[in-house]
Structure 1
C-alpha cells in the first residue's frame, strides 16, 4: 500500500482529500503545518506528498525544498490562487504537479496515481537498464541506470522531471515534439497544464546550455513545440 502525506492547514480540505485517497487504497498521513510535515515525513517516509503552498510555520515551497533534499520524493503542490507565478515557483523547487483550489478530489486522486505510476516506471527502468546503455551527445553524457548526467565531466543536479525530459530529447534528436506529446511521453499524463512543460524546458536550458537566453541544444519550434539539436562533438566536449 502506497503512503501519501497530505499537508494542509485547512482541516476540511485535509479530511476530504484523506478520505478520497483512503477509499482509493492509499495509506494517508496528515499534517497541518510545515514543521509537522517534516516531522511526519522523517518518522514515516511517504511515497508522495500532497502539499499546500500556504502553510503556517513554514510555507509549502520551503517544505518542498527540504523534502527534495532527502531524495526524489514525488510532490503535488496545492495552491489557493491561480496565479502563474505560484505554479511556476512550485515547479521550480521540484514539485511534480500542482492543483489549484478549489479542485475536484477525484481529479487529485488521478493525479496522485499518475505521478506514482511514473515514479514506479522510473524506478523499474533504473533497476533493469543495462549498464552500457548510456547516452552521449556533445558535452552531455547521460547514465539511465545511475540517473546521472554530466556536462563536460561535471555532474548536473537535475530533478526527476528534468532528467526524464533530457533523456527523451537525447533519444529523439532532431525531432520536433509538441508540448502535448512531451506531457504524455515524459510525464505520463493525458491532461494537465502545458505550462508545466514550458517551465521544465526553461529550467533544463539553464543547466545544459552555454547561453540559456540563446539556446542551441533545445530549440523552440514555433507553432509546434521543441526540438533537441545534437551538437557536433569536439575535443573539449569529448572530455565529458
Structure 2
C-alpha cells in the first residue's frame, strides 16, 4: 500500500482517482493547489504524488523543479491535458518521474504508479543491501547516492534531476551495458518517443563529467565500465 497525494483542482477527477486508488488498497490525500501540496510534501510521508500541471496558483512544472532543487525526491507523476512531445520532455527534464495526458485510462494510471513505485523502492533497497553503494567512485568522479550529489576531483558538479537519474542508473549497473530502452523506462517511465531526450542527457553528462566516463555501445545503449577486479559491478 502506498500513500498517494493527488494535487488537482478538478473535484470530479480527484474523486474518481481517489476511489480508484482506494479500491487498490492505497491511502489517498488530496489538495487543490500548489501551496497546500508543498506543505504536504514537506512532511515527508508521501510515497508518490499525482500533480496537475495547470494548478490555480502555480505551474506544476515549477513546483516539481522547486522540490528537486530542495532535494525532495518524492516520485511525481505529472497530469496534463497537453500532449505535445516537447511538453512531456520538459516535464521529465524538470524532475517529473512520469507524464500522463488527460483523459487517461484508469488501468494505465495504476500501472504507471506501480512502475514508478517499483523504481523508487528498488533503488532504496539496493542501497540498504549494499552500504558500499552509498558512494560509487570512478576516479576522478565520485557519486554520493544518499545525498544525490556528484563530485569531480572533490568539486561538486551541478546536475539537473534527470541528468542525475541517468547517471545513477548507469553507475549502479556499472560493468553492464544498459539498453536505451531499459534506461528510458527506468528514468522516464516509458521507452517510447524520448530517445532524443536521452541522447541530449548523455551529451550534457559528458560535457560536465568528461567524455571517458560513459561509453556508447553502438546500436544498443550505454555503459560505465567497471574497474578491473571491481566486485561491486553488477552482472544483472
Q: TM-score range by the shorter chain?
A: 0.7 to 0.9
- Which consecutive residues of structure 2, in runs of 5 or more, have no partner in the other structure? 227-236
Helix, strand or coil: the match of 1:58?
coil
Residue aligning to 1:233: none
CA distance in 1, matches of 2:139, 2:205: 15
Quote how far apart the aligned CAs of 1:102 are: 1.6
Provide closer, same or farther for how the CA distance between residues 159 and 129 of structure 1 changes in structure 2, counting only shifts above 3 A: farther
Distance 1:71 1:208, change over 3 A: farther
- Are residues 1:209 and 2:210 paired? no
Taking the aligned partners of 1:168 and 1:44, their CA distance within structure 2 comes to 24
Quote the Cα distance in structure 1 between the aligned partners of 2:141 and 2:34: 37
Q: Which residue is 1:23 aligned to?
A: 23
Q: TM-score, normalised by structure 2?
A: 0.77
Which residues in structure 2 correspond to 1:141-160 (within 5 Å)?
141-144=142-145, 147-158=148-159
Q: Distance in 2 between matches of 1:43 and 1:229?
A: 39
Whole-angstrom distance in 1 between the partners of 2:31 and 2:133: 43
Q: Confirm or deny that 1:129 pairs with 2:127.
A: no
1:162/1:200 contact within 8 Å kept:
no
Q: Match for residue 4 of structure 2?
A: 4
User: May I ask how many residue pairs the two structures share in their alignment?
Assistant: 225
Q: Is the 8 A contact 2:143 2:151 kept in 1?
A: yes
**For structure 1, which runs of at least 5 residues remain unmatched after alignment?**
231-240
For residue 131 of structure 1, report the CA deviation from its aligned partner.
2.9
CA displacement at 1:177 relative to structure 2: 4.4
**Could you tell me how far 1:140 is from its partner in structure 2?**
1.9
| Deviation at residue 10 of structure 1 after TM alignment | 1.6
- The alignment partner of 1:126 has SS state of helix
Are the aligned partners of 2:65 and 2:94 in contact in 1 as well (CA < 8 Å)?
yes
What is the RMSD of the two structures over their aligned residues, measured on CA atoms? Answer: 3.3
| TM-score normalised to structure 1 length | 0.76
